[in-house]
Amino acid sequence: MGKRKYIRGERRLWNVVKRCLEKKPYSYVCRNPYFSWLRNGFLNKGIERIRADVIGFKEIGGYHRTKIEVIAVEVKNLQWKYTKANVDQARRASIFAHRCYLAAPRKFKPDEIESAVEKGVGLFEIKNRKTLIEILPAPSLNPDEHNVMRLLTRFRFFRCSICDCLINDGLLEKRSGFYVFDKFTEEKYKSKWQIICPTCVKKIPKKLGVVEKKEIDKVWNEIYRIKKHMKRIRNLQID
């Protein structure tokens, strides 16, 4: 098999894995339909120089704070043996992923499974190039939360700076983002992009006792109405 043909076949498998991860029992979010460059899926994405062939994420509970699980899958086309280097390549995504997998279109050999167990990488078998079967569950890892949010931000998902919920940028109202500047020295400023979700935009001013623009407009309309009424009374008295 030529190198170009191998790569084309591997990229076709990316979409197979993505579609399977989006369905039950996995139910991961693997695309953002609101942005054209992310509509086809989180394929060959990552942070810095570390990328994964397919990335997905989902909520895994948390009453007070939304917990996110990120899965990264390294997809390989059919080959006689999957080496430790292939397993290491899948493991590299652990800087931003809670679970790392290696996926291939055949059954894994005992030594390949042993190597995956040693590195803490799960295994997926792509059966008939249509379905995804979990051969070896991946252990839960602890990536840096900063790296997880950097990854999700590239997919246009943000955390609300007030309630800490996760929200799709495509559902945000305009002007809901703002910059915050940290100043540690006289010479340097560090800016941070913050987001406020629509729920907080509506509820927080009421909780803080801030009068809304609609209420202010009602007061001014009432003042204008009273002024007009008093002017009419004065005109009648003059007549």
Tens digit of each residue's pLDDT, the chain (239 residues): 566 776 678 889 999 999 999 999 999 999 999 999 999 999 999 998 999 999 999 988 767 777 899 999 999 999 899 999 999 999 999 999 999 999 999 999 999 999 999 999 999 999 998 899 999 999 999 999 999 999 999 999 998 888 888 889 888 877 677 777 776 666 666 677 788 888 888 787 776 776 666 776 777 788 778 777 777 877 776 66
Contact 120, 139 (CB under 8 A): yes
Q: What is the pLDDT of residue 201?
A: 81
Residue 190 is predicted with a pLDDT of 66
pLDDT for residue 175 = 65
Per CATH, domain 3-146 is 3.40.50 = no
- pLDDT for 164: 84
The domain ranges of the chain are: 3-146, 156-224
Output the pLDDT for position 188. 65
Neighbour order of strands in the sheet with 50-59: 43-47, 50-59, 68-75, 99-104, 122-127, 131-136
Buried b (16+ CB within 10 A) or exposed e, 12-49: ebbebbbebbbeeeeebbbbbeeeeebeebbbebbeee
Three-point CA angle 31, 139, 16, nearest 5°? 35
For residue 185, the model assigns a pLDDT of 62
pTM: 0.81
Question: What sign for the dihedral angle of Cα 216, 222, 223, 228?
Answer: positive
Give pLDDT, residue 179.
Answer: 75
Measured CA to CA, the distance from residue 129 to residue 110 in angstroms comes to 22
Residue 92 to residues 50, 68, 112, 140, 172, Cα–Cα distance (Å): 7, 19, 17, 14, 33
Contact status, residue 30 vs residue 41, Cβ threshold 8 Å: yes
* Residue 138 near residue 122, CB atoms below 8 Å: yes
pLDDT at 54: 97
